[in-house]
Amino acid sequence: MYEMRTLSTDAERDEAVALVQDRQRWLTMRGLPVPARADIPALFRDPQAVPAGLFEDGLLLACMIPHRAPDLGWGRGPCLFLSCFHTLPDHAENTVQLITLWASDFAARLGLPLVHAEALARHPLYADPIAPFLRRLIDIGWNLRGSGTGQHGEPVARLELIAEQRPGLTALIGCRVHKPQSAADSRSIT
């Protein structure tokens, strides 16, 4: 069984930092866009951040920092924003599908209509080296909302997913992720 949970221990946060660094090396070796902001891994150690991770039998497959965003300026109102999303190298395909299902359900349970995310894109999207990845995202339910400047000032593809409750999902993915609200609200959604 898979589990999405808040990364609350130093060991889990260190594992997320290592995953982000491994992913960035993997992207660099393939000539794919890598965040220019050098301190992305450090964001997972920030005490103000509430990162989450997808685990399978204790192995961290993906990590991100989910935010409850009022409006990103390019979307259509409030959303669950998946910031700094990284997958374990060579595990992206299945992991992204699982995160898609989880994020859609989690946003719906939070009362949010949409999930937003960004993917680095350094060229026109149709010619970008990540075009095949964007097509796969579209195939599994994401909508491409164009390109623009991302949260770290880099060119990105803007992605949107409609929130949808998936009652049977808990049989596949357990969820112990803290609500992405104020620091005072640390309750989990289960």
What pLDDT shows up at residue 188?
Answer: 42
Total of domains in the chain: 1
Question: Tens digits of per-residue pLDDT, 141-160?
Answer: 999 998 888 877 888 899 99
Pairing of the two strands 52-56 and 188-189: unpaired
What is the CATH number for 139? 3.40.630.30
Question: Tens digits of per-residue pLDDT, 121-144?
Answer: 876 777 777 788 889 999 999 999
User: For the residues of 117-149, what is the DSSP string, one character each?
Assistant: EEEE--S-TTTSTTHHHHHHHHHTT-EEEEEEE
Quote the domain boundaries for residue 131: 2-189
**What does pTM read for this prediction?**
0.87
* pLDDT confidence bin for 182, thresholds 50/70/90: very low
